[in-house]
Structure 1
Amino acid sequence: MPTEEFDRWLTASQQADWRAYLEGNSILWGALNVDLIEACGLSMSEYEILVRLSEAPEHTLRMSVLADYLAQSRSRISHTVQRLERRQLVVRRPSARDRRGIDCIMSTAGYALLKHAAPMHVESVRQRLVDVLTAEELAQLAQFFRRIAVASGRTTSDM
């Protein structure tokens, strides 16, 4: 509902592109989430936390760093980690470095589940994204989202 006070409305073409992005992104994430849940009982959010922990020294990250890496609120990360903790896939402890922060540490069971889930998730990503696009399109997609991340104040080292 355009008003005369605002002159930067999207054109019809831009609006169609924006909506196609929203729908495609929602469908892709939803399908990847369902695939993971059906394959190993992990949601995409839970899987991403385990991946980040697996890449960290000693499989440990401060909760605030984990939230920043995943561009999610600390509250949302805390709830997701709580679910993982109930399943004994991670543990939380006061930070060994300064005791003010909380560290999230992947357990042996968490690492084993991630190793089980990763090949299935990669196959899902291949089927739903990588094999749908050409190599050039996939590279362009990555370039576009890196540019968006930088414009939002993030760098690829943050991701």
Structure 2
Amino acid sequence: MSTTRWLNPDEEKAWRAFLRVMVAVQTGTARDLAALGLSDADYEVLSTLSEQPGHTSTLGAQADKMGWSRSRLSRHATRMEARGLLRREPDPADGRGCLLVLTAEGLATLDNAAPAHVESVRHHFIDRLTPEDLRAVERIARHLEVN
């Protein structure tokens, strides 16, 4: 006896619509960031580091914030470090860990990209929805958040 709870037609329609929206918005904003020489991941690392005191975070805390594994972030940070966007420093609280520090070049890159990125978010998402739609998206997101 199967215990699979298959999607009914309305659930299937909603699921597929959600996937299409996610792909469309992410593809559009990623394309716009790529025109600035950044990936989505680059922008996320830069923006979240910019919000930290001293523009610094442990690798582990940054990975947790982004929902990435430490090894994935470490590999990505290596590429960003080679481009001068961040640097690694030893973590005085954890001899095995490291700190990720936003460089002046990384902050300037973020400052340059942020206006275009917010325009991209507006174009591909915000401006296509009513204030009521935006409140509904936020409400739905609260139900889907991972604790």
* TM-score interval, normalised by the smaller of the two chains: over 0.9
Give the distance between the partners of 1:90 and 1:76, measured in 2 at CA.
16
Q: How many residues were matched structurally?
A: 147
How far is the alpha carbon of 1:12 from its aligned partner? 1.3
How far is the alpha carbon of 1:146 from its aligned partner? 2.2
Greater relative CO, 1 or 2 (CA 8 Å, sep 6+): 2
Identity between Structure 1 and Structure 2 (%): 37
| Runs of 5+ consecutive residues of structure 2 not aligned to the other structure | none
Letter in structure 2 aligned against 1:145: A
Q: Secondary structure at the match of 1:100?
A: strand
CA RMSD in angstroms comes to 1.2
Letter in structure 1 aligned against 2:102: M
Q: Tell me the equivalent position of 2:42.
A: 46
- 1:115 and 2:99 matched: no
Give the ranges of 4+ consecutive aligned residues of structure 1 lying more than 2 Å apart after TM superposition. Answer: 96-100
Q: Tell me the equivalent position of 2:124.
A: 128
How far is the alpha carbon of 1:72 from its aligned partner? 1.5
- 1:37 and 2:34 matched: yes
Q: Secondary structure at the match of 1:61?
A: strand
Return the TM-score normalized by structure 2.
Answer: 0.94
How far is the alpha carbon of 1:100 from its aligned partner? 2.9
Q: Tell me the equivalent position of 2:25.
A: 28
How far is the alpha carbon of 1:14 from its aligned partner? 0.5
Q: Tell me the equivalent position of 1:156.
A: none
Give the distance between the partners of 1:27 and 1:55, measured in 2 at CA.
27
Give the distance between the partners of 2:73 and 2:54, measured in 1 at CA.
20
For 1:126-156, what per-residue CA distance to the aligned partner results, in whole angstroms no more than 9, with x for missing partners?
Answer: 111110001121122122112211xx22xxx
Q: Which structure is higher in strand share? A: 2
| Runs of 5+ consecutive residues of structure 1 not aligned to the other structure | 154-159
Q: Secondary structure at the match of 1:48?
A: helix
